[in-house]
Structure 1
Amino acid sequence: MLTWRLVTPEDFPLLARWLAAPHVARWWNHETSVEAVQRDFGPSARREEPNEDCLAFLDGAPLGLVQRSFWHDYPEYVEELAPTMAVPARAMTIDYLIGDLADVGRGIGTRMIRSALEHLWVSHQDAECVIVPVHADNIASWRTLEKVGLTRVAQGELEPDNPIDDRRHYVYRIDRPRP
């Protein structure tokens, strides 16, 4: 069973370990020092920032991280995406990772993203859609999005998370399910 809770400062050592794992570091390219994790995840953990960092647990064991936010809370990202597509006023986005390599390639990520979206629709009744840019070379990531029902709606050049990558991105979207 998948469950969720918001990240707390006590989770920072776990996040640092996950971010340092090669399969995560390839796409997240994140500093993993204690100071860097506190700097980057502290504001969200203290609810000082509008995004939400959510830990996923599978049968009580930590599985992964999903970050979610409204696009318009970060106007610089809306501006970057604007040449590729219009972003609706109540659009959200997610970013995600599976922490341990042993959990990759087993369909668990698909379950996690599906659950994250279900959780998002309940937690954010005003969200009209979810828009997710993914680097074109991150095939596992965009294939997972397709498996849970997101549709590729655009492609364009965006700043990559990892400076070794070029700017090619696919943009995926899913609208709020109708009752």
Structure 2
Amino acid sequence: MPNEPTFRYRFIPVEPRHLNMISEWLAEPHVAKWWNEDSDVEMASIAEHMDSVSVEPFIIMLGDEAIGYLQTYDPHLEDDHPYQDQPTGTLGLDQFIGVPDLIGQGHGPRLLDEFVSLLFEEGVPRVIVDPDPANSQAIKAYQKAGFVAFDTRTSIYGPALMMARDNPDLVFEQSPDDGQETRLQ
């Protein structure tokens, strides 16, 4: 699209100074509807993630403005994680745009595409997301960013539409014995 503005996003690690801002975002109705209803529990979890091995939290920056939160997680590093059936190296992703005025402006698909492309450059084979099936706005954003639905599950947070985007530079083969996918490269 020739007239489409070009955006450049940055993703900076969450620091303690960001926690109040994230807490305010979690209270926004468009975020609270889909994230943990108990923002104190969610904030405690995000604060723990700053020192986690399995979860990496980021602030989404648009220019010099903080606009949202994003976290990646490795389901293979968490005991009994329900997504351990995904190929080794897969990362899960959760995100939200915290600034209400930026919702519906196309930032979601753009920032997702940019972040996932960075992960692919690092060699990540697959990125998964698990929006609530009723969250049509998030599902459309993920689809625009190249994610494809592959399953419906129930997670500890409720129903989840499993969506994945595979690294185009890597090839997967499904084992006929156990259905597990392995990376061929």
* Correspondent of 1:20 among 27, 37, 46: 27
Aligned to 2:166: 175
1:17-166 paired onto structure 2 within 5 Å: 17-33=24-40, 37=43, 39-45=44-50, 47-78=51-82, 81=83, 86-122=85-121, 124-125=122-123, 127-160=124-157
TM-score (normalizing by structure 2): 0.80
Cα distance, 1:36–1:113 mapped onto 2, change above 3 Å? closer
TM-score (normalizing by structure 1): 0.82
What is the identity, as a one-letter code, of the residue corresponding to 1:136? P
> How much does 1:29 deviate?
2.2
Q: Which has the higher helix share?
A: 1
Q: Given that residues 36 and 42 in structure 2 are in contact (C-alpha distance below 8 angstroms), is that contact kept between their aligned partners in structure 1?
A: no
**1:16-56 CA deviation, whole Å, 9 max, x = no partner?**
000011110000024334x862x2222222x2442100111
Segments ≥4 residues shifted beyond 3 Å: 30-33
Q: Given that residues 153 and 172 in structure 1 are in contact (C-alpha distance below 8 angstroms), is that contact kept between their aligned partners in structure 2?
A: yes
Q: Given that residues 157 and 168 in structure 1 are in contact (C-alpha distance below 8 angstroms), is that contact kept between their aligned partners in structure 2?
A: yes
Where 1:89 maps in the other structure, the secondary structure is coil
Q: Given that residues 17 and 32 in structure 1 are in contact (C-alpha distance below 8 angstroms), is that contact kept between their aligned partners in structure 2?
A: no
Q: Which has the higher contact order (CA 8 A, sep 6+)?
A: 1
Higher mean C-alpha deviation, range 48-57 or range 92-101: 48-57
Percent identical pairs in the alignment equals 21
Highest Rg: 1 or 2?
2
Q: Given that residues 134 and 142 in structure 1 are in contact (C-alpha distance below 8 angstroms), is that contact kept between their aligned partners in structure 2?
A: yes
Aligned to 2:16: 9
Aligned residues: 163
Unaligned runs of 5+ in 1: 161-166
Q: Given that residues 149 and 163 in structure 2 are in contact (C-alpha distance below 8 angstroms), is that contact kept between their aligned partners in structure 1?
A: yes
> How much does 1:8 deviate?
0.2
